[in-house]
Structure 1
Amino acid sequence: MTEQSRSDLHRSDLTNDIHWQAWCDWASAVGVAIPALSDFTAARARVWEASEYVAISVARHPDAFAELVASGDLARSYGPGELAERLQGVLAEVSDEPALHKALRLFRRREMVRIIWRDIAGTAPLPETLEDLSELADVCIRQALDLLYDWTCAEIGTPRDAEGRPQRLVVLGMGKLGARELNLSSDIDLIFAFAHSGEVEGGPRSLSNQQFFVRLGQRLVQALANKTVDGFVFRVDTRLRPFGDVGPLAMSFQAMEDYYQSQAREWERYAMIKARPVAGAAEDVASLMEMLRPFVYRRYLDFGAFESLRDLKQMIAKELHRRGMDANIKLGPGGIREIEFIGQAFQLVRGGRDADLQVRPIREVLALLAERALLPGDAVTKLDAAYCFLRLVENRLQAHRDKQTHRLPDDDLGRLRLARSMGFADWTSFSAILKAHRRLVQAQFDEVFAAPAAESDPCETGLSAVWQGGHSADYDFSKLEEAGFEDPSAVRTRIEQFRDGTARKGLSSRGSERLAQLMPQVLRIVAGSDHPDLALERVLRVLEAVARRTAYLAMLIEHPVILSHLARLASMSPWFTDHIGRHPLLLDEMIDPRRLYAPLRREDLEGELDALLAYVDAEDLEQQMERLHQFAQGNMLRVAAADLTEVIPLMVVSDYLTEIAEVAVGRVLRLAFDHFVARHGRPTSITGEDTGFLVLGYGKLGGIELGYGSDLDLVFLHGTESITAMTEGPKDISNEQFYARLGQRIIHMMTTQTASGTLYEVDMRLRPDGNKGMLVRSLRSFAAYQETDAWTWEHQALVRARPVAGDAALFAPFAEIRRQVLCRERDPQQLRTQVREMRRKMRDSLDKTRDGRFDLKQGAGGIADIEFMVQYAVLRWAAAHPELTDWTDNVRLLETLARLDLLPGKAADDLTEAYKALRAAYHRSALQEQPKTIPVDQLAPERERVQSLWRTLMED
């Protein structure tokens, strides 16, 4: 420390002593005891050194400080609502604006002294300080507004909507106030709005609602921000409103909606992330926030946010540097704003799909980013520590003179004062820690917002020229061939078609720029895949589907890894890229290879679906279906990626796909059931412990053999025990009606086409009496039908039936019905004739074996032959061997038949191997989007063995 610094510090200490002595002299004169506790003395010395504002306020208003000490408020935290109660008492006798202004300012001064004391003394942690400051602003706004509203109505009349209902002002707190992160001497950013246009009634002259609320807003701003002999309450900034300074101070909701839909700028989206209603009628507040949400949080993944925030930060940095403000801890390098930008970027990109991210406090956002592995946990821990440190520094800077500043001091005394207020002995030790935090923040910011790499090799430079066009065919051919394409002429033609087609679509200038930036990367990455020409065609189909949605182009630019996975998988299967082309949201699944190639099992599927539906309104059927579709499509995509790359074996692919369907069906049932219970109450007199409803899966779903794009064969049962039973709600209906409507809603939710497609196609024809039968039957009715009226082919279908969703208490009763039906004694010859005849009819109508191609499912020796033989065997021998009813899938049924030695020789093993081979070929055809046929010379030994066993078992 220099000699001058020591001298300055000495003079500062003397000044502080003078201020404190002034209070002590007053206390002695009026008989107020001076606290002698060592903790108080140490805290007082720290506060007086760090905050000239507190020292002067106490000297000038000694009685207020005496009351603070006597009340014990310096030593304790406030409880919920306590600050509002205190202000309510202060304002109880206020009857005009001058008195309101004075009361608010005195109240604010008392509470600021308390908050600064507790902050600097270390008795209040940072979250408490920020919360206390935010609560102080909230209560001052609300209670001042309540008084001013009543006074304004008394003077000029009451604003009303078209139905004559009184209107109230809605106040949005923005920025740090909105996030309840207010600092010690912060402006408060406010936006004023009102629900409906209309006229003021009961006043001396005709006024519109807008004129009323503009006047009210002006009075509120004056009550808070005007500087009087008592100071001010809060500086108020209203420039974040639509149109800024030139816009009206208060706007109707409709006018605001028009503005945000058509004229708002990108930075206004970032500002709205923290918007929080501070005052207003609850119904109006809910309506306004619902209107604003789609403007802030897009339903698709908006990776353009990274680009926009990167540009905004660069503009801020240039301006700060130009003005010599690199020492600004809020806006400068490694400052608070960079941490906020990191959180906001992920919120804007993903908040539309992940409602958990629609929170305001930045520390909560950072924690969620770590929880979702969007940022490394270690990086988040360090960012959080840096944020807390920087916010403390910000508060200590502003506590000195109650001045809004974010600039580090450049004088020795100011530096020493700041360092000591932060608990450091000197500036050097403090500065080292501060710089370390700022370096960490800047490094993390640069990593998150790093601009995508520019062209990095000659190959990409050449491909950029090919994309731009204008070169000779020979030049383009040579560059495409060098890159690795097999037919440069065809590839060049396809690129030209794509370029011309996107031009005709009228892309925005931003879209064209992004496409020009993206395409050389696309060509280079695709050229390196196993089948580049094929992969390019498939990838271009995806790009054609998303080109008008420039946010997806931004996503691909920001994350080139997506292109790598897309090219790799496109070269393996058209199913993958066709699926993404129809549902571009699925591109998000390709960012993280840990997720892409690791499909989820049931428990994790349930958790993911919980998160997707967590914030969807119980009555928002459209959004429920959208989220269910996203869930199913995203998880099928992961299964396909893991399947194509052989991360998971082929025979468990159906297990994964079946679990996705079961979780989806179970959740649809729960949502639909809750919907009707809310209207009609719960059904009574039921067998069951929950819904009393059972969803049976038949066919591939029942047999745990789902493929990509498989229909779901479903049957609905309910456990009503009395045909006269009613629901217990106020709008009661019969149980039969309840369950019939429930079944209809389930099918509607499963099959209705939305913007993201359908959840599943559903086939209900296997229910009793088929399409002519009731949609939902009671368990008793189902049992009676199976016992007396069902055909043999229906009993065959029952072999593969199992509960896939519904009331667990109904699982056992259904299993017993199924067991009794399947274990019935049957005439073997009659059974064989009936099964064989049904198989003949099916083959005659469905077999597509022709022109040298074999139908994998329906052809002679195909999958259906194996399934029919297994079903025949179960129905023939289950009476003697009930364990044949334990399973529904063909492989385990064949294992059971082998164990029981019911089929001749190695028949069970041969059928199992043939079944697996045929299913593998069927499965691969589905992924290649090819007809489910193979050349007649493929799998010939397997098919011949199946036909031989068919003759032995079913015809001899």
Structure 2
Amino acid sequence: MRRDQATLSELARLGFAGLSGVRALLDELDGVVTVDVAGLLPQFGLAADPDQALGCLVRIGRMHPSELNEILASPGRTETLIRLLGASTGLAEFFQRHPAELDRIPDRPRRLPTRAELTESMLDSVGAQNGFADVTDDEAWTRLRVRYRRWLARIAAHDLRAVDTVSVFDSVARALSDAASAAFEASIAVARTQVTQPGNGPMLFSADEVRATRFAVIGMGKAGAGELNYVSDVDVIFVAEGDESAGLSNQRAIDVATRLAMLTMRGLGQSGIEPELWEVDPNLRPEGKQGALVRTLESHLAYYERWAKSWEFQALLKARAFAGDAELGEQYVDAIAPFVWSSAGREGFVDSVQRMRERVTEHIPADEVHYQLKLGPGGLRDIEFTVQLLQLVHGAVDADVRERSTLLALDALSANSYIGREEASAFAADYRFLRVLEHRLQLAGLRRTHLMPRDKEELRVLARASTLAPNADALVTRWESTKHEVRSLHERLFYRPLLAAVAALPDEEVALSPAQAEARLAAIGFRDPKGALSHIAALTAGVSRRATIQRHLLPVMLRWLAEGADPDYGLIAFRRLSESLGGTHWFLRTLRDSSGVAERLTRVLSGSRYIGELLDQIPEAAAWLADNNDLHGRSLAAIEDEMTAILARHDTDAAAAKAIRRVRRREILRLALGSVLGVIELPELSRGLTDITTGTIRALVRLIRRTDGLGEDSLEFAVIGMGRYGGAELGFGSDADVMYVYRATAMDNEQSHRAANRIVAELNRLSEDDRLPLDLDVGLRPEGKNGAVTRSLDSYRAYYERWSLTWEAQALLRADGVAGDDALITDFESLADAIRYPAEISDAAVREVKRIKARVENERLPQGADPSRHVKLGRGSLSDVEWFVQLLQLEHGAAIPGLRTTSTLGALQVAVENDLVTPESAERLRAAWIFASRLRSAMTLWLNRTTDVLPSDRMQLNGIARILGYPPASAARLEEDYLAVTRRARSVFEKQFYGTP
């Protein structure tokens, strides 16, 4: 293709943007070079910014046509030059200042230079021999900087010509670090010569003193980690010692080294004829800017031992002998390592690191936060801080994770199971992506920057330079997605509570002998330490990743289990759960990584046998602990939708009933977890338990009525909730009090009665669950235990009109239709209203209610039971409050519509509003009813069996107290609180129910 045939569209396809100016520049280049300009055009299509590359090429041609023609004679070197010019105006200006360096541009660099090659070349640039340079004036710095940029151009050429820019990032960052180290070596050589010559400072030193001064540069940050950018601040610490064998004191050596350090920094970072390379930052030294520039090793150690702050140890994580006296540098690194790897044990260390990360974000100017590649949310600092914190916490006992490089540290953390493979892989990919963007931005002007461009054209060039996306929009989309992923991973890993817990572990608790381990387990609260040790051994045996993660988790989880009321049972339950789920991809990873899950799991397992047994049946429910939304009860509508799907999916009654029972177990476990963890309160718990009971009964009734002769075309059938079930006041372990009613439609009454009994029998059979019983109690039916289990609506009406006793009207106060045919439910509730809300109630009936209540107190309490400790029938307990409220309903329900509710507390509130009871008295009753209801459920959760008597055993009381939110060792406090609240309620009850003065 000839140049004059290049159309604007073809130039645009190559990536040129300023098409009108391109023609003129091509014409000018044609007049400068001897090669065919048309043949160069495809090369510009490889440049990040073809316009920039062409403009720079023309400027070089104007000033240095012969040098340019020589390089353009080689297609390979031409491509390299155009790529460099299109990606970096900084390098273009370098070639304009030093045209001889054009001759150094490689054809196609096959490899990156080694540290040895770079050091030899840098030292050669200043004529260094035996540690001293033969060039001492400012020309030395110029030579050094030119030589450095020669190598920088070669590294950039390798980078820009790579097919996959991400894949070469690691080696490029290492080469840049090696080049900086080599530049330091050359600068030190110049400084050594200069300090021996007059005019270079207030003090003059002899060559022998300089030779006797051991001077080391410690690389920090990215320099220490071997992951420098094209233009990074190079963080360093200077350390020096005097050679005693040469008779040089440490103080004199410090004087020499301080001058060497100042000259070395000036040679690399002070403005000159050839621009500075980068800023040398020594402010990570002890006491920062206020501290001495150079210290002895002993002085450094004294500071770190007494005064250093947590952030300083985090910075020292990457310390490396960078330049100068290598032996002294290694001594420094070895000496500070114990401080670094014990720092996580400092009080509040993890919190301080987390807070420091937050402060970094807070100090970003508001208009830059979104565009910060390095410091902003989802930026490089999120990855670096996360990795460093994980290293510092786990590196205290595991030397395998003590890596300086972020990427090598990620590999080590993953290999040793401190972070999941997926998380490590994602973090590594995101880190390389962000660093490549950072490299390209800094290479462009050879200046330090971490801000993403806002201009669309600049973004287009960045996309071409990085080859990370086909265009500007795609690059921005990928960058935004990366930020979101980084921030999400950072928040999950950086703030997970296991870090703080591991950091707080005493060193001796991590690896103990069997005897020591038994003693420690006994000391922290395990009653069977030998048994606990066997469970631990089973969980951690082997070399699998699962066993490795368990070994990391258990020291912390054991401490959390020990804080529970029954650590022995908690450990057994955890082992069972681990054996069920340990092979899954999510369980152990969730415990390790997700905020709070491990601690929550230990809390519920060591605090509730009820939960432990249910989790054994439904282990996958452990995943709910990661999200409070999963610990709230599901709505009745959602439950019914699932039950409907089950009925549609299963043809046989047995299979469908089994699936329905499993849903019930699962949802009750959900409520138990939410209750123990304090996510849900009593009203939501009661409603949730009532809804799952109702959903289960409705589904089973629908299942049974699919049988011929039992469906709606044969008879109407309904289940009426009674007692606490009818009042939607169920607790864990509560019976479901019910009555059954039917109405004949297509069959005569006898046939309908038999059909209704079949439905009830099948309901009892299909609801039977040994693991989580559903007790359908029909004791509140007419005539009690002697009455028929099922009755027709007409039979109920006839009975209540002729024979019903006051207690039966009282029982109907909480009757609520829960399942079956709606029309029948409506008619039954209308019948019940006429009985439970009489227009008036006789004095004899009121006396009968009071007499029966007194009889219940005397006769129904278990033999020998302490009336003050029975939460259902005892003094001031549930029955006192419920009978008091029910008497008010019987007396005033006809006149006050608000009292026509099945809710105990709802009716009590209406009684207050209608001046039937004072607010103070009602509050005492309400407090006792809530306390007793919570206590009754807590006893079931703790013991995994239903009981109504508050235990006297201290351990049992402690366990129940912990479920109720009391701190450890609160048995006496729980007892005192319960007795006090029920005593106050009993006082109200006796005065207003019995009329006792």
Structure ID, larger Rg: 2
Into which bin does the TM-score normalised by the smaller protein fall?
0.3 to 0.5
TM, length-normalised to structure 2: 0.45
TM, length-normalised to structure 1: 0.47
